[in-house]
Structure 1
Amino acid sequence: MPLSSRLLSAVSPWRSAPAWRIALSGGLDSTVLLHLLATLARCERLPPLSAIHVHHGLQVAADAWPAHCQALCAGLGVPLQVLHVKVDGGASLERAAREARYAALAGCLGEDELLLTAQHRDDQAETLLFRLLRGAGVRGLAGMPTSRPLGRGTLLRPLLDCSRAELEDYARAQGLSWVEDPSNADTRLSRNFLRQRIMPALRERWPQSDASLARAAAHLREAQELLDELAGQDLLAARTESPWPWLNLPSLELAPLTRLSHARQRNAVRTWLAGHTRMPDSDHWAGWEALRDAAVDAQPVWRLGDGELQRADGRVWWLSGDWLRVPEAPVPWPDPSSPLKLPGNGLLSLEGVPPSGALEVRYRQGGEVLQLPGRGRRDLKRLLNEAGLPAFLRGRLPLLFRDDELLAVANLPLLGASGAEAFRLHWRGPTNDQGLS
């Protein structure tokens, strides 16, 4: 079947998308994808096409690529947007560049728009082998999915069933020109080493190795789908409502998880964490066991790439972003009739009769006491213990002071003011960063 027919079949489910955006590097693969789609658009009714070129600025040769892409798009009548991104160096420049590129592409997508990228079957085979050598699990060995959510739209890889040889044959038959990235020849980079040294040797011994590896990735993807279904069933019992729904933090009840086998625990927690953080390696999962098995009165923490899990009152809680930083205090509140934005700690509002005097918000330091009707002066630490509040929350729960007098504690009605100055404090905590999507 011709490439154009296979491509049309792959993109058909998204023909109602408001726009198709093509990630155009200027290399062989994306050039072929752009040409195929622009040609199809002349005889098929497709959403509006446009291309996006991301310029990393990592090498001198790349400075000429935007102009090349502009000429290519102009010849095909496709609008082009050029994005300049800054890549933060680190342990892996490849990874940093990829993350910067996808972040920029995601930012360009409107609601329900489609981003098309040109990865092919050879790329899928390399990905599987690369991840296998890194000791990846089933999810990693499932390779690149054909589609996944990205930003406000969807990322689609419609050429995953096509070989690079097919794309090159098409490009030469159509007289297309493309740029060659000099860094692709650098075998010090792991993927280039696989592409230049290992894959040719495999193909020489097993001519169908690319197709076989891609097929193995498809089998593993199906296995991962089954594991995801099992995790969904196991998490259903653990996703109970917390005693503090206003806390609005991701959490799970621990008891239903501990009744599962260790493998099912890891599968369920891994699936739950996938929306919040990068996955820990196998050795790092000892942190989960320590969190799970700690004494009842302990306050265990499992630190991960993008946040941490804490255990409190029979639940595990995901904390990230501002939740891991000490909020600024004190914060004056000159007009309690208006909500107060707390630096690094959400929003505070007051319901009822505002108290008189100079007010400010502080956080617990120790030794605070609160006057309660019928109970006299009570130690705040004991009151918070009685309320059963999670330990990680006690140091950032807003406290309203007038001079050195503690008037009320946010979100705990029994610790609000009464009498002539009856009011309640309502606190909406900081947004918990969701990590990687």
Structure 2
Amino acid sequence: MSDFSTLLFAALKPWRNAKAWHVALSGGLDSTVLLHLLVQLRQTHPLPPITAIHVYHGLQAAADAWPAHCQVLCDGLSVPLQVVRVQVQAGASIERAARDARYQVFVAATGAQEVLLTGQHRDDQAETLLFRLLRGAGVSGLAAMPRQRRLGAGHLCRPLLDVPRTQLETYAREHNLSWIEDPSNTQTDFSRNYLRHEVFPALRRRWPQAAASMARSAAHCAEAQGLLDELAQQDIHAASAADEFVWLGLPSLELAPVAALSPARQRNALRHWLAAFTQLPDTDHWAGWDALRDARDGAQPVWKLAQGELHRAGARIWWLSGDWLYQPTAPVSWVQPDQVLALPGNGRVRFVGDIPDGPLQVSYRQGGEVMALEQRGHRDLKRLLNERGVPLFARGRLPLLYRNEQLLAVANLNGLDSSPCGRWQLQWLPTLSDQGLS
């Protein structure tokens, strides 16, 4: 086995028991060499089944011939090929849109315990580092491309990140491989192409090991980011105690433990926590967090982000998105109260125990509601919600059960959600923050 094959085999060691390996095959040099190497390896080692995926974007006339080229290559290597045609959405960056369309295909094609293998090499890693450095990226961005990460139900792996492009070219010539040269790769109006053709040649003339050094710096940043993630997990854990409104099904943290951290550590913890929910602003645009954190008690501040909002209520911060950002439709007649009632944009309600006499309907707070309580008389609903500390953002979504004009119950609030004799209880299963149902 050659040194090249030995390096690749070692890089793939964690994935040798996968159910399948899928190769992202553009037909270019790197993916062609990767596929050929894998086929050579399976002749001497037991490997998972290998398939190839070619994504046809249709962005240029030359691309029409690429699926056929990939098919000839795969036929010669006895590798099944899947060709997927995609529509690239118009936008500010055609490169980004094409990448997004590509990865949607890869996510769909990669199942549980399966791995997508891509052919990015050391020069690509160096270009990514420099590109992100010029955009002012932080440690996470400067870590460039990870060697492996989750991809849908499976994983993505880049086994050639330590290999320079020159080594791929040498291998391809030695094995008489042919590959596609994308005409768009020479267009220097694309930022990456400008770096590749104009900047890196000058850097290599002065510093021949520039790409290797940059790739090594990316690895150092990846290690540093791993430590920051560990610190963020500790800080989030310290602020993750549940509260009495856990039934809302919303992600939340205690504010005080977060606010007690240094500003940089606050941002690190919040970036880690919010990354699962939304795209985050850059470091210069965190004034919204400062305003939310420092607002006076009872101010109910909101920080609006790309995919939702961060609210402060009840000494906690809460993440809201999807249906939680809109007032639900009301009223809703409950024609069959023996069955669960779906509330448009607001989950569902049901009775536990007996069913009260009708006619019944579910509505939401408008202001001025009054509720009759046993041994307490008629009480203002606003006061009752204040007594229980219900977060302001949830008050307009709490299902209110009416019979004619009489307010019978408020879902999920102890003492307000049942009949005086306890024969029935109104239970609300809210819409989750990801717009699903709990």
- Please say whether Structure 1 and Structure 2 have the same fold, judged by a TM-score greater than 0.5: yes
In structure 2, do the counterparts of structure 1 residues 361 and 60 end up closer, same or farther at CA, with 3 Å as the change threshold? Answer: farther
The Cα of 1:184 is off from its aligned counterpart by: 1.5
The 5 A counterparts of 1:21-420 are 21-419=22-420
Please give the secondary structure, in 1, of the residue aligned with 2:12.
helix
In structure 2, do the counterparts of structure 1 residues 377 and 61 end up closer, same or farther at CA, with 3 Å as the change threshold? Answer: farther
The letter of the residue matching 1:109 is T
* Counterpart contact for 1:333–1:340, Cα < 8 Å: yes
Aligned equivalents of 1:380, 1:285: Cα separation in 2: 37
Superposition TM-score, scaled by structure 2 size: 0.95
Please give the secondary structure, in 2, of the residue aligned with 1:221.
helix
| CA deviation vs aligned residue, 1:197-226 (integer Å, no higher than 9, x gap) | 111111111110000000011111111112
* Counterpart contact for 1:307–1:318, Cα < 8 Å: yes
The Cα of 1:420 is off from its aligned counterpart by: 6.5
| CA deviation vs aligned residue, 1:269-320 (integer Å, no higher than 9, x gap) | 1111122222211121111111100111111111112212111111111111
| CA deviation vs aligned residue, 1:359-389 (integer Å, no higher than 9, x gap) | 2222212222222222222222221111111
* Counterpart contact for 2:117–2:157, Cα < 8 Å: yes
The letter of the residue matching 1:105 is F
Please give the secondary structure, in 2, of the residue aligned with 1:192.
helix
Please give the secondary structure, in 2, of the residue aligned with 1:382.
helix
Residue correspondences, number: 434
Aligned equivalents of 1:6, 1:146: Cα separation in 2: 14
Aligned equivalents of 2:260, 2:420: Cα separation in 1: 49
Aligned equivalents of 1:281, 1:372: Cα separation in 2: 51
Aligned equivalents of 2:160, 2:292: Cα separation in 1: 43
* Counterpart contact for 1:373–1:418, Cα < 8 Å: no
* Counterpart contact for 2:418–2:426, Cα < 8 Å: no
- Alignment correspondent of 1:11: 12
Aligned equivalents of 1:95, 1:390: Cα separation in 2: 39
* Counterpart contact for 1:251–1:318, Cα < 8 Å: yes
The letter of the residue matching 2:428 is W
* Counterpart contact for 2:110–2:154, Cα < 8 Å: yes
139-148 vs 78-87, which moves further: 78-87
Please give the secondary structure, in 2, of the residue aligned with 1:400.
strand
What are structure 1's unaligned runs of at least 5 residues? none
| CA deviation vs aligned residue, 1:103-152 (integer Å, no higher than 9, x gap) | 22112211111111111101110111011111111111111110011111
* Counterpart contact for 1:354–1:421, Cα < 8 Å: no
217-226 vs 371-380, which moves further: 371-380
* Counterpart contact for 1:21–1:49, Cα < 8 Å: yes
The letter of the residue matching 1:63 is D
In structure 2, do the counterparts of structure 1 residues 420 and 259 end up closer, same or farther at CA, with 3 Å as the change threshold? Answer: closer
The letter of the residue matching 1:362 is S
| CA deviation vs aligned residue, 1:63-88 (integer Å, no higher than 9, x gap) | 32222222221211111122222222
Aligned equivalents of 1:327, 1:68: Cα separation in 2: 53
* Counterpart contact for 1:413–1:424, Cα < 8 Å: no
Aligned equivalents of 2:327, 2:54: Cα separation in 1: 40
The letter of the residue matching 2:369 is E
* Counterpart contact for 1:121–1:160, Cα < 8 Å: yes
Aligned equivalents of 1:50, 1:207: Cα separation in 2: 37
* Counterpart contact for 1:355–1:421, Cα < 8 Å: no
* Counterpart contact for 2:408–2:419, Cα < 8 Å: no
Please give the secondary structure, in 2, of the residue aligned with 1:407.
strand
Q: Percent identity, please.
A: 63
The Cα of 1:42 is off from its aligned counterpart by: 1.8
Aligned equivalents of 1:64, 1:169: Cα separation in 2: 25
387-396 vs 92-101, which moves further: 92-101
Aligned equivalents of 2:374, 2:86: Cα separation in 1: 60
In structure 2, do the counterparts of structure 1 residues 248 and 269 end up closer, same or farther at CA, with 3 Å as the change threshold? Answer: same
Please give the secondary structure, in 2, of the residue aligned with 1:149.
strand
The Cα of 1:156 is off from its aligned counterpart by: 0.5
| CA deviation vs aligned residue, 1:168-208 (integer Å, no higher than 9, x gap) | 11112211122222222221111111111111111111110
Aligned equivalents of 2:356, 2:58: Cα separation in 1: 58
The letter of the residue matching 1:8 is F
In structure 2, do the counterparts of structure 1 residues 270 and 420 end up closer, same or farther at CA, with 3 Å as the change threshold? Answer: closer
* Counterpart contact for 2:28–2:181, Cα < 8 Å: yes
Aligned equivalents of 1:303, 1:232: Cα separation in 2: 23
RMSD of aligned residue pairs (Cα, Å): 1.6
Please give the secondary structure, in 2, of the residue aligned with 1:427.
strand
The letter of the residue matching 2:213 is S
In structure 2, do the counterparts of structure 1 residues 64 and 242 end up closer, same or farther at CA, with 3 Å as the change threshold? Answer: farther
Please give the secondary structure, in 2, of the residue aligned with 1:176.
coil
Please give the secondary structure, in 2, of the residue aligned with 1:135.
coil
